[in-house]
Structures are given as structure tokens and as C-alpha cells.
A and B are shown apart, each in its own frame.
Chain A
């Protein structure tokens, strides 16, 4: 609980022919962090890895297209069974369906694009074969507000030599389509440049699509094609949906099984390979060594040799906390995993984080809301980030309620549905603020002192005696500075330390400060002088507990000023509804802001002020070969 779990490095030898059996045995055992073997040269994966990886690539690609996640908690199956299921599930057929769906979507998109191009022409009952004329050019446009027929008339190459073909009957056909109207214009090809110039400024010109027959007929044809393509796509999609609905669970389970099979088949790449022997290495919890020995004996009999490997390598870190404390591991990991040999601060965080959190937020109503949210998250998520968060929220919510009773606050008010609360510390009165300030500094003093003590203990454990002495001297410095200031400075915030400060006179405290400083200069050199202001800064930093608490209660108080008076009068009732909505929204905002700030600032007090006294981090995570092995 205070330190990561003790690990031991093992090496298992077997003949090359027994590699697969060794992999099975290690996987069944599960709680092993397999490392690259130092013995022999590097090995190859198991023979069937190629088959598995080929199938897995197909499964992963399809899962990605269908947005499916691999199933969890599946049991491994023999390869022959998996290949049989792969065929039975018609994975190749599914792959072909997906391809058909893709092709069909592409076809629909292309047809719709053609339809959009034809849309302005749908009422144009002109045979497109006329467009083949060499003497004439054609334009199709929507006249803009500045369009003038006169401008076009002027570009005609005079009355002479310009005549529309009789088939068209007119030199321009005006097409009306609802509110829109378009012009299909035929003009002398020699005037093309001038006509295009006129149209470019006064009309929206459309590219004339190539069609056979009339444009109106082409529109009808493409409409039918679009409808048919949509129907085809819908049929394919229905088939795909049916598969997703009925087979996706089996598919996800099959993929998870293949993932396991691939993991096992690939494992020997970490093994060492000799002429006839293979060797697998890894870290396991020391207390489970006998269990592994027994498991290997059962599976491989005398064909395996297990030995522990003395090594100077740093083992990975496997945290070892009781279930109730585990949610708080997330906070330590977010900073950095502890080194194998150092103290795991999760238990300390478990104790102090909720207290600080609750002290900042400190409200019975908000605490209840947090508990409700935590229970919802626990119900919704069985593992992962939100599960951890819910565990933290339960404890933080309880402390928030407890401090809420101390501060006498319920959603920022001093009563619970009319029943008055009697605050021990009133956060909006001068005396209460002073008490809160003293309490914040006291908590900071205790927190920092524990940090130095833990730092000294960790240093002693690693036989770093000079380092240990420095930690003790920093603690002495903190104690003597606070003692000196308490008896000599008359700072109101330090009044809580007055009784303790009176143990010694101001001069004696000052001598202790001097002695501590000399000791620090001897152990840490001139750096100690630079870090000295930081020590006072660390203590003052805990005043944020007070400051954030006041900000929170002021915010909640402002929201509580929203008038909530139920009324039977329609206008009064409407204003009541609006005010109630604003009140709820405001309280939700205040709670969200309070929770965010309380977590961030409590976390900061731990990471920066507390952990810096003893914690280094930088550990490598212990990764169990089988993810569910811890639950076994």
C-alpha cells in the first residue's frame, strides 16, 4: 500500500518445440510483465502468427468501418475454432457487402451531381442533337437584374447573314421553371467572344451538359436513375444493418479472440532463441512466484526450467492499493507513475485530497449533488476513467457535505428548505474568514510537515543519509519559521499557532532558524538559500483554500438572490418559470465551476507543494500479459 508491489525477474527455459505451450502457460498465469529476453538471440513469432494477423487485419478494418469495438471479457479459443467462426460469420462476404455499399454510395453521388447539373435544363424541350451545329454556338443562362436584350442585339453581326435554323424557330427560347427562368440562346459562332462577354457580366451562365434526346427527357431519365440507385443503396444498407444488429456481438467477440491469439502468437518475439532452447523473461509479483512454478509444472512438466534472475535493472511499477483507494491512483499516474523503489503517494492523496476539496467547496447541497453524480457514474461505468472519477467523487462529496455543515451552507444559503443551519465558521463574516485563514495555514503546515517526514523516511530507506538530514532540516526550518512568526509578528492568520509558538521564546525560534539554515547550507549548499522563500511560499499557497471557498460562496449567494415567488397569475407564473430556470442554471454553473476549481487547486497543492517534498516519479508501468488477470 505504501510502496509498489515487490517484483522478481524470472526466466523460463523450454525447448523450441515447447514455445507455444510456454506461451499458453504464461498467458494463463497472466500477471507477468514480459520483457525482452537477455539470453540467446531474438526469436520469431509462432508459426500460425501469419494466418492470425491476416484475419485480424480484415477484422480490424471492418470493425473500423462499422465503428465496432472489440468485446471485453471474452475467453480465448483454439485457432481452428476461430478460423471456423471466421468462415461461419461470412466475414469475407461482409467485406464484399461493404464494398458494394461504397460503390453504391459513389454511384448515388455521381448521379445526384449529374442531376444537379441538369436541373436548370429540365423544362428545356430542345433536342440536344441541334448542338452539333458548326455555324451556331449556344448558351444557357439565367438573366441577372442587369441583363438587357438590347446588349445582346447589338452583338449580332447585323441582320445580314444571321438567321436561326428553322428547326429552332426562334433565336432564343425562354424557359420558365417555377419562379426561375432561363434563356436558351443560339447565336452566330463568329460572335461567340462578344456574346460571352455580355453574358459574363449580366447573367449566370450554365455549362450545357451532353445528353442524347431532349434535355427534359434526360432529366426524367436521371431522376429515375437516382431513385433506383437510392433504392439499391437502401437495400444494401438494410442488409448491413441487419448484420450489425444480429452479428456485431459475435463479430466483436471474434475480433477480441483473434486479438488474444495474435498477442500470444507474437509473444515469442520477446523470447531468446538458442540452438534448441527458447527463453522467456519477465517480472512477476514475488508473492506469486510459487504459483507460477506450479502452473508451469502442470502445463509443461519437466520440459520447462524456471529460475529467478538477479538483475540491477529497475523493475516496472505495479501499484498495490486496496480497492477503495485505487480510484486515487489515477491522480498519481496523471503526474507520473512512482519509481519502483519510492513511496506510492496514493494513500496520502486518498486522505488529504478529499479534505481539501471539501474545504474549498464546503456545501451540503453541492456535496449531495456530487454524491448523486458519483452514484450515477458508478452505475454507468464499470471500469476506466469515469469509474475512477466516481470513486474520488464519493469521498470528496462526503467531505464537501461535512465541511458544508461546518460552514452552515446549503446551495450557498444558510438553511435547508427553511431549517436553519448553524455555522461553526461563517465564510462571509470577518471572524469566520480569519478562522478559515488560520485553518488553511494549519492544514498547509501539517501537510508540508508530513511531506518532509515522508521525504526523510524515503531517503532513509534508500540509505541517502545526507538527503534524509536535509529533509529533517527543512522540517525544522518550517517549524521554527512558523513558531517565530507566531510569537513575534502578530499576524492574525498565524494566531492558531500562538500556543505552539509559546513553547519557545522568539529569540530561541530565531536561533533554531539559524541552526537549520546552517545545516541546510552544509547538506544542500547555496541552493538552500534560493529555496528558502519557496518554503514560505508553499505555506502561503494553502491560503487558496480560503480564497476559493469565499469566491464560491459569494457566487452561490448571488444566484440565491434570484427572486423565486410562485404565482397563479399567468404573467407572474411565467416570470417564476424563467427565474427558476435561471436559478437552476446558475446553481449548475456554480457547482461545475466549484468542482473544477476545487479539484484543480487541491491537485495543485498535492503536486506542487506536497509531492515536491518527497516524490520523483518516472516509473514504468507494469503491464500484465492478460488484462483481466488481476480479477482472477
Chain B
């Protein structure tokens, strides 16, 4: 299969969007999760807050996914 440079760059861009988002989310959730577990050990009632804090960085990978998806849609 032969693809032109532009198409290749779009595909690479889509991959980078998802990869960057995933790495960012993983890094943030790792730290938040560890701190959150510590907080829950001390104060069980903070469960709701911990869940929100844990879910906050997922926005990064979800938006990365959306960008990636939209970019892939540009490939003819």
C-alpha cells in the first residue's frame, strides 16, 4: 500500500495525540491514585473526592482520543 506523506503525517499525528494523552493521564493517575489511597486510609468519607480527582486526568486521554479519531477521519 502506498500512501502520500500528508496521509502518513495525519496518521502519525493521530497516534501522537492518543499517545501523549495516555502518557499524561497515566502519569497523573499514578500519582493521584497513590495519594488518594493514602487519604482513604485516613479518611474513608473522602471516597467521592478521591474518585473525582482520579477521574479528572482521564479528560486528557479522552480528548486525545477524540482528536486522534477526528484526524483519522481526514484520511481518504
The interface of chain A, by Cβ under 8 A from chain B, is: 333-336, 430, 433, 540-541, 543-544, 546-548, 550-551, 600-601, 603-604, 607-608
Contacts and interface: CB of A to CB of B under 8 A. Distances in A.
A544 B59 contact: yes
A418 B25 CA distance: 40
B52 A335 contact: yes
Given A601-B55, A607-B52, 20 more contacts: A334-B47, A336-B48, A430-B73, A433-B69, A433-B73, A541-B59, A543-B62, A543-B66, A544-B58, A544-B59, A546-B66, A547-B62, A547-B63, A548-B62, A550-B69, A600-B55, A604-B55, A604-B58, A607-B48, A608-B56
A547 B61 CA distance: 10
A336 B58 CA distance: 22
Nearest to B59: A541
Nearest to A336: B48
Contact of B51 (A547, A551, A603): A603
B65 A547 contact: yes
Nearest to B52: A607
A198 B58 CA distance: 65
B40 to A, nearest CB: 12
B48 A335 contact: yes
Contacts of B51: 334, 600, 603
26 contacts: A333-B48, A334-B48, A334-B51, A335-B48, A335-B49, A335-B52, A336-B48, A433-B73, A540-B63, A543-B63, A544-B58, A544-B62, A546-B66, A547-B62, A547-B63, A551-B65, A600-B58, A601-B58, A603-B52, A603-B55, A604-B52, A604-B55, A604-B56, A604-B58, A607-B48, A608-B52
Contacts of A551: 65
Interface in B24-72: 47-49, 51-52, 54-56, 58-59, 62-63, 65-66, 69
Nearest to A335: B48
The 3 A-B residue pairs whose C-beta atoms are closest, nearest first, are A334-B48, A604-B55, A335-B48
Contacts of A547: 62-63, 65-66, 69
B64 to A, nearest CB: 9
A399 to B, nearest CB: 20
A600 B59 CA distance: 12
A199 B36 CA distance: 55
A601 B65 CA distance: 15
Contacts of A550: 69
Contacts of A333: 48
A601 B58 CA distance: 9
A546 B66 CA distance: 9
Contacts of A334: 47-48, 51
A468 to B, nearest CB: 27
Contacts of B55: 600-601, 603-604
Contacts of B54: 600
A543 B65 CA distance: 11
A267 B48 CA distance: 32
A229 B66 CA distance: 70
Nearest to A545: B62
A459 B65 CA distance: 38
A603 B50 CA distance: 12
Contacts of B66: 543, 546-547
A433 B68 CA distance: 13
Contacts of A543: 62-63, 66
Nearest to A430: B73
A555 to B, nearest CB: 13
Nearest to B61: A547
A431 to B, nearest CB: 11
A623 to B, nearest CB: 14
A224 to B, nearest CB: 49
A433 B70 CA distance: 10
Nearest to A493: B70
A622 to B, nearest CB: 16
Nearest to B50: A334
Contacts of B52: 335, 603-604, 607-608
Contacts of A546: 66
Contacts of B59: 541, 544
Contacts of A548: 62
Nearest to A541: B59
A543 B73 CA distance: 16
Contacts of B49: 335
A603 B56 CA distance: 11
Contacts of B48: 333-336, 607
